[in-house]
Structure 1
């Protein structure tokens, strides 16, 4: 409780005349005075008044001043209030017992008014300074905790930005290697067929026309392959940029999981059984929904794509006060140990499972899903299931405030309405 402008003194004495004399002197000096005429009454009223100083008579009927002081010191609400004992002249034993009970000073009776005022004012000032120091210390502790949290948050943000930069560098290097590899074959086909066009000029008309048709078809097929790769790369770069610039929104995690799961089940249509075990999810959470969808779509689509027909795909969830975990289990052939170390690398494609009808892609899905998880300051990992199958786990934070990277890699705070708040 903050000290009032006029300090309050609480007098406890069973003699009304003593109270009147002390109260008059204190009021004349600007103090506010409350009083009690018994120890029991004092114990009841002092926690309600919360005075700045207590003047406590030692010898009272019923509960003595020593007992009153001991009980006050056992009450955290008033334990710090200074107690000045009123003792008889030359009563050394009472003085010692008073200090032992928790008193800070004593005044002998009959008291000198000037001495009483001086001692009360000194202890009222000290008590006020102690409370002010405690309040400032509490503010400093709160500020320290806040700064520590901000430092930890900024440190994680810098690490996340560094991971994204490294991720982008790895993607760029892999993209160059992919273009060099994937475009070499169709370019070779086109080049060889251009050479054959020259040879065709020497043939008879019928043979020349037939060969030219074959050449045109092969060139068209090669160009189509190159265009498909270019479209995939352009889509990946566009999505990569969009994920990094997404802003938080208030969404239903369960609704997103159900939507993505149903979309993937319909897309593959392999008569798989979809089991949803969504538990503990918050009704609404502030998240990066498109990043969440991209990560989910990849691991759920893989589960359906690599699971045998009529097998079970299970999607389960759990949550605590600040994070959501989604696990996707399939009954597919599992992950080849030789491919495991490159599972999240850009453009590293796994072996085609022709028996399951899985088409070999460009190797964009899992790296993009991992990027989405890290953009949400979460994580994506996998676990082998025995005797068959794989589990992918997506763990992402949510809450009232979410820190997200802007295009410069600097952190910005977002409130519950999704509007950006400048970082302090």
Structure 2
């Protein structure tokens, strides 16, 4: 029996013996695993480079490179070093079992095979692997959280302290126009940090499962208009044209209003941040089967392919500066991704340097 966590995992069987392959393939297929086959160590390495499995069953005795050498090579490869490898060995072959652990294996199964034992060992190591992955993501979440607090919020408060000190200790040195300018800078900084705190708190609640998903029928035009109105001052301050190409009563979605508002607001704010004065940012939509695809398109600075690949990954440390020297943390995009996926949708980005970017996310259509 497969645990819920391990269900749907991919397992690579590496053995040059057709009988062994047939027996193991039958066990795994019956239980619902996706199964790949290789008949040599070299073929296994090539298969892993094409499509890394979640776990490998590796025979010790094979022509060419044996199981131990295959294991060592896989453990030297960044793509496969963390994949658990279970050796297939003969009963009472203690020397090979020890050698297998030294090569990097995590366990062994013995011939002749016992179906219950094979599945129990596979399931145990897949569960451990999933837990390790969850722990890694948890640590990355914690690191991201503290990085934002330590650097972004601290930096913002430092700037506010400088401005407030000027007003508190040297107000008589400034005329009313200069004082108004200082106050405006303080206000802009506070607004930006308030948005950051909102995202930070929403993200923290999502991690803890404290945000409920409450979908309802929504008119997408109304949502788009509300967010354009919210961000029109930012657009005007940068002389950017903000356009809603969605027509009233055209796109109805079945989505959580707060989550969808948060996604749209973050994506438009992000587009404005990286668009030059006299540029444009637009929001549009299209039907995609049972979903509506909502796109925020800008004529901004665009992104290199390397940055594009890292956008929605929590462990990535991307530092891009907006066209008016605005700072970002990448937290807004992580929040958008989690909220889109929580609603059963997806999010992705397309971009070209100096030509602009398009961020698209999907939400279920209202029947």
Q: Name the TM-score, length of structure 1 as normaliser.
A: 0.42
